[in-house]
Structure 1
Amino acid sequence: MEQEYRRTKTTVSFIHYHFVFCPRYRRKVLVGKVEERFKRLVEDICQENNWIILATEVMPDHCHLFLNCLPSDSPSDMMAKVKGVTSRRLRQEFQHLSHLPSLWTRSFFVSTAGNVSSEIIKRYVESQKKRG
């Protein structure tokens, strides 16, 4: 995978988040036109917020998003935007989803990913004083 470093005036970063989130009650609603519309909405949200989609996969009952972002973007805020906008818009646009009070569960999984392991970083930090 090509490495995507983000640069601002004061920061160079390499932050990737892997998100997994599910519809309420793991309903299998992310199929057909709903899946297509969900993907377009996510692309629009990411573009508006300057997040780069590295990978995405939509299953009928859960989603995976792998995003590159800046350090100023918190995972909780990112999920709030993605889930808030997509829930509202999909329930407005698809009659069979309109009865749901919310499309998504309140929870989500997030992990970070990078180009080095935690063990390598730990050894690097611990060796700094020894390097002279």
Structure 2
Amino acid sequence: MPNTYTQIHIHLIFAVKFRQAQIHSSWKERLHQYLTGIIQANKHKVLQVESMPDHIHILIGLRPDQSLSSLIQNTKTESSKWVNANKLSASKFQWQDGFGAFSHSKSQIPQVIRYIQNQEEHHKKKSFIEEYKFILDVFGLEWDEKYIFHDLI
């Protein structure tokens, strides 16, 4: 798109289906690389990726020519197929429906990168759900408990 200039930084958060701890440390770096490849193939820029066994954080520079929902759907679908095709998870791997997407200014990027890099330390103090609800509150978003990432019933 000629004469289109944007600076859109989005912190993405999504969870493994039912928040099952399926992302194993032995292959999480390969997953990060695969996710990065998907996002870059869609012409967006990956600034940071980190995952915990039950969820992932990705900071991207988003181009305006693709909807965020389309990018997330493609990223989740292709990465789930890849995990399953490579038999990396002991059971079928799926991402939970929905996602969090939070915009940040350029000046906040170093802080967000550090936050994402320090997920292991952060989760020694706070569960994923506590963290997610906190972020929703910080951003002033109204949320309903029934739509927060679900546990296996």
TM-score, with length taken from structure 2? 0.64
Identity of aligned residues (%): 23
Q: CA RMSD in A?
A: 2.0
Counterpart-to-counterpart distance in 1, 2:14 and 2:70: 14
* AA in 2 matched with 1:111: F
| Residues 9, 106 of structure 2: 8 Å contact kept | no
* AA in 2 matched with 1:19: L
Pairing of 1:57-76 with structure 2 (within 5 A) = 57-76=50-69
1:105 — aligned with what?
96
2:9 — aligned with what?
16
Shift of 1:14: 0.4
Q: Which runs of 5+ in 1 are unaligned?
A: 1-7, 118-132
Counterpart-to-counterpart distance in 1, 2:12 and 2:31: 15
Which structure has the larger Rg over C-alpha atoms?
A: 1
Counterpart-to-counterpart distance in 1, 2:97 and 2:19: 12
Shift of 1:83: 0.2
Q: Which runs of 5+ in 2 are unaligned?
A: 109-153
Structure 2 SS opposite 1:32: coil
| Residues 19, 65 of structure 1: 8 Å contact kept | yes
Counterpart-to-counterpart distance in 2, 1:115 and 1:40: 24
TM-score, with length taken from structure 1? 0.73
**Higher strand residue share:** 1
1:114 — aligned with what?
105
Describe the shift of the 1:116–1:33 C-alpha distance in structure 2 as closer, same or farther (beyond 3 A): closer
1:25 aligned residue (18, 30, 41)? 18
1:42 — aligned with what?
35
Structure 2 SS opposite 1:106: coil
Describe the shift of the 1:85–1:71 C-alpha distance in structure 2 as closer, same or farther (beyond 3 A): same
Runs of 4+ off more than 6 Å: none
